[in-house]
Amino acid sequence: MKPPVKKTPPGSEPAPSKKTAAKKTAAKKTAAKKTAATAKNTAATAEKAVEKTAASSKKAAVKKGTAKKTAAKKATPEKAPAAPKTFPQESRTALVRRARRINRELAEVYSYAHPELDFENPFELLVATVLSAQTTDLRVNQTTPRLFARYPTPEDLAAAVPEEVEELIRPTGFFRAKTKSIMGLAKALTEDFGGEVPGRVEDLVKLPGVGRKTAFVVLGNAFGVPGITVDTHFGRLVRRWRWTDETDPEKVEAAVGALFPKSEWTMLSHRVIFHGRRICHSRKPACGACPIAPLCPSYGEGETDPEKAKKLLKYEMGGFPGQRLKPPADYPGKPAPPLAEG
């Protein structure tokens, strides 16, 4: 017979040893760590999947948008460049105020404005102005010293040999036509005005090669008679400033003259021409360096970046010699060099 098995009453089982309990606790902790790591990996994998899906969707959207833009460009012609800044329609009073304010601003910037032709008397100024057509004042100033040294009076020039005069003024261009003009006006001064330059516009415009522009240069700077000089610079700027839309010089003269008192006409001409030669150029105006930019309806036609605009400045504004070999005492720039020999 098998010996009887002893039954242990409930609640009287032997307590597990400390070593066994520690092993069980460690096993539980390890299992918990594994479960947490697994969960973390699962979450990370899910997050990456979401990000990947989002990136793919964004990429697809960008491609789709690019495709739409490309299609739109093909279907739609290119837009015209934006129109330059313009002012609202001005009243006559507002125009006069703005024009006079521009003049005051220019007077501060070009307090030293002057005629940029070298001359000692009305005759020299008259001849130099005729020679300045289709060339620079600088080239005229480099040419006239030898001309006036050889022919200092109207009588001398009227009696000159044309070929010799042509050779002296050749650097100014169109020297044959200009020789005919200056010898013709010298003869007229000698025969009709006693060798003196007349002080009236009506008489000056009768001389060969002399128009209203030349007449007002001489009257304003040799006789102190107010006048507006409408050269290419003056005409260009007053149209940019919307002072007038006229292109005929006499109509420009009348329109601008009506905006200012006569006492301002001569100096206004100098300031506007100075500004046109130094800052408000024909092809590339330096808008970013312009002192009257807030008053200009055409701001933005030229370079607006201040640093780039500075590089466009000419003569004393850009640190270079001016146009006169003998500038006035208050001129802040450098005198121009004489004409190189040969």
Cα–Cα distance for residue pair 275/106, rounded to 1 Å: 8
CA–CA separation, 22 and 324 (whole Å): 107
Question: What is the full DSSP assignment across 209-242?
Answer: T--HHHHHHHIIIII--------HHHHHHHHHTT
Check 118, 137, 178, 213 and give the catalytic one: 213
**For the residues of 254-293, what is the DSSP string, one character each?**
HHHHTTS-GGGHHHHHHHHHHHHHHTS-SSS--GGG-TTG
> Which candidate in 19, 63, 231, 326 is catalytic?
231
Whether 119 and 125 have beta carbons less than 8 Å apart is answered as: yes
For the question of residue 156 being annotated catalytic, the response is no
- In sequence order, the 6+-apart residues with CB closer than 8 A to the CB of 256 are 99, 228, 230, 238, 243, 244, 268
The two three-digit tokens of residue 44, written as one number: 């990370």
Tokens of 79: 């837009």
* 50/45 Cα distance (integer angstroms): 9
Catalytic annotation on 24?
A: no
Catalytically active residues, by annotation = 213, 231
